[in-house]
């Protein structure tokens, strides 16, 4: 029986209502496994918030707060300031997280403010590449030519017109001591990066790519393989910037982007005709340039 007892309540618990195969639910557990219990988490509105906390239940085993869609950074600032003011600085570290929409779009001003203030907060953007909670609308991190309900592929359009906004580069430009990308297919790498981020004081940024079977349109069992292919194709390079310098980048054998695009229905319009094939070439170029930039050996 799984009644709730002190032993079986974990930092992140089962019984949440994420879709089957949700990469985000996996990421949340992996992150907390790496941080341990001495954290306070501020969560923006979005899938993670909704599927973990339906009153009166919560999947969290750490202190957690949700306020709004776009104020997670400032709320985290307030929590962190309160801990300091009350002499509880050693009690916990503060983590703020939000989706790609909360992070790259609506909440970005607040995040930039928090980075500039140099608050001791680890900011995690979990990137499922669209507004999933509200039914798959595009965000600033929706990939080039991805179909979403507000960047639909149609007779004259082939999906999202813009490339992903480069938040890690913007984070580095803010002078953050630690900026990294990760994804769920590499849990050891993710764990190491979270731990590394927790060793650093000041603002830190971690962007975790989390496949979303519902929004991406892949089989629920393919969550890990999609995550892996995103890296292997070069579309989602994994790297770390420490004190503004590229410190590590994962080296992988490059695979063609089709292998990643094909199993996902959000790209199926690219496989219909010559116009689509042209777009795939452009996506391959994005991957190639990422590859050229980040195919570097780990710098010690």
Ligand X SMILES: Cc1ncc(C[n+]2csc(CCOP(=O)(O)OP(=O)(O)O)c2C)c(N)n1
> What is the distance between the alpha carbons of residues 71 and 90, in angstroms, rounded to a whole number?
24
Residue 93 CB contacts under 8 Å (≥ 6 apart), including other chains: 35, 38, 39, 40, 120, 122, 198
Which partner in another protein, ligand X, ligand SF4, none is near 158 (CB below 5 to 8 A by kind)? none
224 binds ligand SF4 (CB under 6 A): no
Which segment (33-41, 54-62, 124-132, 233-241) binds Mg ion by CB under 5 A? 124-132
Which segment (12-20, 96-104, 254-262, 281-289) binds ligand X by CB under 6 A? 96-104
Distance in Å, CB of 91 to another protein, minimum = 5
Nearest to 72, CA basis, from 43, 51, 94, 46: 43
Of the residues 49, 70, 80, 100, which one makes contact with Mg ion according to CB under 5 A: 100
128 binds ligand SF4 (CB under 6 A): yes
Write out the binding residues for another protein, residues 101-120 only, by CB under 8 A: 109-110, 112-113, 116-117
Distance in Å, CB of 136 to ligand SF4, minimum = 8
> What is the distance between the alpha carbons of residues 193 and 55, in angstroms, rounded to a whole number?
32
Write out the binding residues for ligand SF4, residues 130-159 only, by CB under 6 A: 132
SS3 assignment, position 86 = coil
Q: Name residue 208's beta-bridge partners.
A: 126, 182
> What is the distance between the alpha carbons of residues 117 and 254, in angstroms, rounded to a whole number?
39
Q: Name residue 94's beta-bridge partners.
A: 40, 121
Q: Smaller CB distance to Mg ion: residue 77 or 148?
A: 148
Size of the site for another protein (CB under 8 A): 80
First to last CA, the chain: 48
Of the residues 107, 140, 203, 213, which one makes contact with ligand SF4 according to CB under 6 A: 213
Q: Are 32 and 62 in contact (CB under 8 A)?
A: yes
- The residues binding ligand SF4 (CB under 6 A) are 18-19, 22, 24, 47, 51, 128, 132, 212-215
């Amino acid at each position: 029986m799984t009644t709730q007892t002190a032993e079986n309540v974990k930092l992140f618990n089962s019984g949440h209502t994420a879709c089957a195969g949700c990469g985000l639910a996996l990421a949340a557990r992996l992150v907390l496994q790496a941080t341990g219990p001495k954290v306070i988490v501020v969560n923006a509105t979005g899938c993670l918030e909704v599927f973990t906390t339906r009153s009166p239940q919560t999947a969290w085993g750490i202190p957690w707060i949700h306020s709004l869609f776009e104020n997670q950074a400032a709320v985290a600032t307030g929590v962190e300031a309160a801990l300091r003011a009350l002499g509880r600085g050693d009690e916990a570290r503060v983590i703020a997280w939000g989706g790609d929409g909360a992070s790259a779009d609506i909440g970005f001003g607040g995040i930039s403010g928090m980075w500039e203030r140099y608050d001791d907060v680890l900011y995690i953007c979990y990137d499922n590449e669209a507004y999933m909670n509200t039914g798959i609308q595009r965000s600033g991190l929706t990939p080039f030519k991805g179909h979403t309900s507000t960047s639909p592929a149609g007779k004259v359009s082939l999906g999202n017109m813009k490339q992903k906004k480069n938040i890690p580069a913007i984070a580095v430009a803010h002078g953050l001591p630690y900026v990294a990308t990760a994804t769920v297919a590499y849990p050891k790498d993710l764990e190491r990066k979270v731990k590394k981020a927790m060793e650093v004081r000041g603002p830190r940024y971690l962007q975790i790519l989390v496949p979303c079977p519902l929004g991406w349109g892949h089989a629920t069992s393919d969550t890990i393989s999609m995550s892996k292919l995103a890296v292997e194709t070069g579309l989602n390079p994994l790297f770390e910037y420490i004190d503004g310098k590229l410190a590590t980048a994962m080296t992988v054998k490059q695979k063609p982007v089709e292998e990643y695009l094909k199993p996902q229905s959000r790209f199926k319009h690219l496989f219909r005709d010559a116009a689509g094939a042209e777009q795939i070439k452009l996506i391959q170029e994005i991957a190639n340039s990422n590859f050229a930039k980040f195919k570097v050996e780990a710098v010690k």
